[in-house]
Amino acid sequence: MEPVRRKALVDAALRVIGDHGSLSVTMSDIARRAGVSPALAHHYFGSKEQLLIETIRFLLRQLRDDAVTALRQAATPRERISAIIRVSFNADQFAPQTIAAWLAFYAEAQRSEETRRFLVIYARRLRSNLLAPLKSLCPTDAAERIAEGAAAMIDGLYIRQSLKSAPIGIAASIALTEDYVNALLAATSPSPRRGEDVRRTDEGVSDAGASGRKAEIAAPSSGPVGHLLPEGRRDDQIEPSQGQKT
């Protein structure tokens, strides 16, 4: 029963944090939501702080696992970019309580070095996941600029979801980010030769006379989703803190 109860406590922590909009919750609050005693919660996690760390690790693992699953369907660098964008805005990540929990962890990162470490892992992973396929489509300096800009758009649009008076939906968030990437990729592409048929599509600019590179720049309207997790990157791995159960 231990894995089941630990998972129930993590789920309860997400819901309670989401309801409160901060990490100023008690172990009793979380245990009550999970339907267990506070003593049992302390038995499994030792302290509220350790339970909160396990909760953010759960969020990162969920994002990583969704990404790996989705990436298996991405055949080209451009599809990988679309996959990264789409998995960042999937329905699970856009749940109100999940958004509230992420924002609470960002606030906590100003005080907690361990929480900040996990958020740095997320930021590095997002940037590298965007940068790797972009380098196949444009020069390195341009790829770095596009990756930084797209990552900033993803984070910014996600934060704006917390504004209940003016939320931006999943489809609109994906479309805005895709438009940004398409525009910059088109700007870095070689100019079409005279006399070739250049046409604009809903996904970007394609050159009918060019070979396969232009076709990759236009994002598919219903492409797969996911994250490319770079291999061999130790800072992209979520390592448990010393003494923490895995």
Fold of domain 75-229: Tetracycline Repressor; domain 2 (1.10.357)
Question: What's the mean pLDDT when you consider all of the chain?
Answer: 77
Q: Where are the domains of the chain?
A: 75-229
Confidence of residue 96 (pLDDT cuts 50, 70, 90): confident
Confidence of residue 71 (pLDDT cuts 50, 70, 90): confident
What's residue 200's pLDDT?
38
- Percent of the chain with pLDDT strictly greater than 90: 33
- Give the span between the Cα atoms of 100 and 147, in whole angstroms: 25
Tokens for 100, please give them. 């509230």
In the numeric block, the tokens 């006379």 are attached to 209
Burial class (CB in 10 A: 0-12, 13-18, 19+), 163: exposed
Choose between 230 and 113: higher pLDDT. Answer: 113
Q: Taking the CA atoms of the chain, what radius of gyration do you get in angstroms?
A: 21
**Start-to-end CA span in the chain (Å):** 16
Please count the CA atoms within 13 angstroms of the CA of 240 that sit on its side-chain side.
Answer: 11
In the numeric block, the tokens 């990437």 are attached to 181
State the average pLDDT over residues 166-174: 82
Model pLDDT for residues 177-210, shown as the tens digit of each residue: 999 999 999 998 764 443 334 333 344 443 433 4
Give, in degrees to the nearest 5, the angle at Cα 68 between 65 and 73. 140
- Give the span between the Cα atoms of 188 and 67, in whole angstroms: 27
What's residue 68's pLDDT?
83
What's residue 184's pLDDT?
95
Choose between 159 and 34: higher pLDDT. Answer: 34
Q: pTM of the full predicted structure?
A: 0.71
Q: Identify the sign of the CA torsion 224, 228, 229, 232.
A: positive
What's residue 196's pLDDT?
39
- Give the span between the Cα atoms of 104 and 87, in whole angstroms: 21
Q: Looking at the predicted structure, is the pLDDT value of residue 32 above 50?
A: yes
Pairing verdict, β 205-207 and 198-200: antiparallel
Q: Looking at the predicted structure, is the pLDDT value of residue 239 above 50?
A: no
